[in-house]
Amino acid sequence: MQESFLEEIRRVRNEADCIASAAEVDAAIERMAGEITQRLAQANPLISVVMNGGLIVAGRLLPLLDFPLELDYLHATRYGHALSGSRLDWRVRPAQNLAGRTVLVIDDVLDEGYTLDAICQSVREAGAAMVLTAVLVHKQHERKARPGMRADFTGLEAPDRFLFGGGMDYKGYWRNAPGIYAVRGK
């Protein structure tokens, strides 16, 4: 069974449609870094990375932010390894004291936004003075948690398809794909 599962994982990657090349992802991250630097360089921000997808984005983004910042992480998910879901599962809440802080929450994708919205609400309730968001990918559709919902910093726009790469996964795999890919037929 494991072998057939890995065959599926490899097949999905081989058949996927490239939505953004590695070079396009690099350029998007560099642009985001410039925008974040312009806005937060003097703010002494706390960067809170959403595991697991935000790890890949943050790992590429943070070295481009040449100003003092503190780093923390959190882990909340709606999907796990499933392809859809609705229940928010808090696995790790922020460890840092958020009172009075400017917090930048970094994640991989803004799809419907329910998870990111709940995370930001929790950070606000913990006393953050300002909560901003950064995502590598904004999925283009109207099913957002709030009408017109957007991250404060966005790298790329993508169609409403099942995406992987750049931190997003397919059944737990391919977060490490260098570009952004869409599962064929989804």
pLDDT in tens, 87-134: 567 788 888 899 999 999 999 999 999 889 989 998 999 999 999 999
Q: What is the reported pLDDT for 89?
A: 76
For residue 45, the enclosing domain spans 2-15+22-182
H-type alpha helices, the chain:
2-15, 22-40, 53-61, 114-125
φ/ψ of residue 135, rounded to 5 = -130, 145
Q: What is the reported pLDDT for 61?
A: 98
**Which pairing describes strands 180-182 and 17-20: parallel, antiparallel, or unpaired?**
antiparallel
How far lies 9's CA from each of 51, 137, 175, in Å? 21, 22, 12
Q: What is the reported pLDDT for 155?
A: 98
Residues of the chain with pLDDT under 70: 1, 3, 78-88
CATH (domain of 164): 3.40.50.2020
Q: What is the reported pLDDT for 88?
A: 64
Q: What is the reported pLDDT for 173?
A: 96
Total domains in the chain come to 1
In the sheet with 180-182, reading across from the earlier edge strand, the strands are: 17-20, 180-182, 163-164
Beta carbons of 71 and 96 less than 8 angstroms apart: no
Spatial CB neighbours of 173, under 8 Å, sequence gap ≥ 6: 9, 164
Measure the CA–CA gap between 43 and 53, rounded to whole angstroms: 25
Q: What is the reported pLDDT for 145?
A: 87
